[in-house]
Structure 1
Amino acid sequence: MKKWLQKTLVITVALLTFGLITPNHEIWDALENGHGNNGSSDSTIQSNASNEQVTTVVEDGYAIEQSEDKQDLDSILFAAKEQSYIKFGPRIAPVIGQEFEEKIFPKLEEVITMTLSSLDEDSIKYLAITDRPSGQYGEKIFHISDGTSGKDLIRFHVRTEKRPQDGYYYNFHYHTSKDKFVAHHSLGDIFYSKNTPPKWLS
């Protein structure tokens, strides 16, 4: 076999496998000397099989790592939506549910994703989300906190606002630990009715 073709094959294999599979010299011996004997081709096949197995293990390990991160995010987003509907209760949810899904939740999801992307892997594993939205006319929907220290990272709230001539609106917003929860970061407003809305959780 010509040297330039041999070098091209070596480089191609190295690039395609990111260096995980190294070319076996027995392959080149077999190609240069014809097919070689059965013993050498068997060992080449065994060697290639073991190399492929290593590659699979590495790739599977990466896939598991990726899916665990996604699973953490998915479980937090699922809990966030669940807590929101618990707060709305069966009387408010049918009125604002669809608009919440279309208008508010995608923004809420974006904020959670950005917050989690700024954390390291260990911190993400120990995140906690509160499971008791406030009732009556309280604003709290849920808080996401560092599970080890117990300190809140981000707080999601909804405020009932009465606007003269317009009626009642729900203002969805959040607060972050970056500014010590002082600023209101708006996610959007949803109109409820001109009539007084029921209490949360009712």
Structure 2
Amino acid sequence: MVQQIGRQFDEIVWPKLEPGIKAQYQKYGYTRNIGPEKTGQPNGINQGEPIIHLFGQDGKEYLRLDVYTSQSRNHTRWHYHTKDDWDDHKGNIDLYHNSLPKWGSE
């Protein structure tokens, strides 16, 4: 299951999100990130919104990578937010699964 989700992310999600995320990186640079690891979460990995926060050369957050997971865990919607409009969901790539394990599980 993990390989299937990884393949779907690599083949479907990342190619659509990468250009927008890369443009933000080129605009603001990078100093650090928070996530995806987080103590207290299942398997020590953030399980949803948000997963990763990116911080620029000025030390301020400029991007959040999120994934919405349906309660039944058979649908995820991958998207990101940027500091120019935190409320806007950019990307919105939907994946459908038979079932989804907790992130980081095998």
Whether the TM-score (by the shorter chain) exceeds 0.5 is yes
For residues 65-80 of structure 1, the aligned pairs below 5 Å read none
State the Cα distance separating 1:127 from its structure 2 match: 2.6
Question: Residue 32 of structure 2 corresponds to which residue in structure 1?
Answer: 128
Question: Residue 112 of structure 1 corresponds to which residue in structure 2?
Answer: 21
RMSD: 2.4
Normalising by structure 2, report the TM-score: 0.73
Tell me, which stretches of 5 or more residues in structure 2 are unaligned? Answer: none
Higher relative contact order, structure no. (Cα contacts within 8 Å, ≥ 6 residues apart): 2
Describe the superposition over 1:49-73 as per-residue Cα deviations: whole angstroms up to 9, x where unpaired. xxxxxxxxxxxxxxxxxxxxxxxxx
Describe the superposition over 1:149-176 as per-residue Cα deviations: whole angstroms up to 9, x where unpaired. 3x2100001111257xxx7111101111
Residue 140 in structure 1 maps to residue 45 in structure 2: no
Where is the strand percentage greater, Structure 1 or Structure 2?
2
**Alpha-carbon distance change, 133 to 192 in structure 1, aligned in 2, over 3 angstroms:** farther
SS of the aligned residue for 1:184 comes to: strand
Where is the helix percentage greater, Structure 1 or Structure 2?
1
Number of matched residues?
A: 99
Residue 95 in structure 1 maps to residue 8 in structure 2: no
Structure 1 runs (4+) greater than 2 angstroms displaced? 116-119, 129-141, 146-149, 197-202
Looking at CA atoms only, which structure, 1 or 2, has the larger radius of gyration?
1
Maintained 8 Å contact 2:78/2:93: yes
Tell me, which stretches of 5 or more residues in structure 1 are unaligned? Answer: 1-91
